Amino acid sequence: MILIILVGISSDESELRMAGLESGRIFEVQLVFRTSDGTFQSEAIEMRTKDETDFSGLQLLLPQPDEETLQLANTLGASVTSQISTSLERISHILVDNISECPADILLGAKELGIPVLQKGWLKSCQFASKLESLNSHLLQ
């Protein structure tokens, strides 16, 4: 499968996030840049998405951490921070009991960056299933 990404990146942006790719699959990726000077293509490369049983790539923000969720995240191998000042670019998921726990600027930043804001129960569901579970039933934003 060839996945072509059309990118219009300003000079200060250095990262492109993609969500919704099936886990554990190999994709052939090629970047295509369209500029006023023409179209430029990268070489195609193969990439593999993380396996759904690998929690090590999770970078969780817990605005109001509790001991149970911290222990569970650590047991699964996820990285956790509760510091709201953390750059959202490094966060993969925000976990809260209630959306009111999260400051408005964090919610806005999460929405702009496509970071899911989830009920903490999502992590328990992942542990129970021994794999990354669907976000849909736990999405708050």
Count Cβ atoms below 10 Å from residue 62 Cβ, excluding itself.
Answer: 21
Per-residue confidence (pLDDT) for residue 10, from 0 to 100: 55
In this prediction, residue 97 has a pLDDT band, given cuts at 50, 70 and 90, of very high
Beta partners for residue 132, in sequence order: none
**Has residue 13 got a pLDDT over 70?**
no
Domain ranges in the chain? 2-48, 59-138
**Has residue 122 got a pLDDT over 80?**
yes
Per-residue confidence (pLDDT) for residue 45, from 0 to 100: 85
In this prediction, residue 47 has a pLDDT band, given cuts at 50, 70 and 90, of confident
Per-residue confidence (pLDDT) for residue 46, from 0 to 100: 87
**111 membership: H or E segment, kind and range:** helix 104-113
**Has residue 108 got a pLDDT over 70?**
yes
Mapping DSSP to helix (H, G, I), strand (E, B) and coil, where does residue 34 land? strand
In this prediction, residue 30 has a pLDDT band, given cuts at 50, 70 and 90, of confident
Beta partners for residue 63, in sequence order: none
**107 membership: H or E segment, kind and range:** helix 104-113
Per-residue confidence (pLDDT) for residue 125, from 0 to 100: 94
The mean of the pLDDT values for the chain is 83
Residue 79, Cα to own-chain centre: how many angstroms?
Answer: 12
**Has residue 5 got a pLDDT over 60?**
no
**Has residue 1 got a pLDDT over 60?**
no
> What is 59-138's CATH topology?
Rossmann fold (3.40.50)
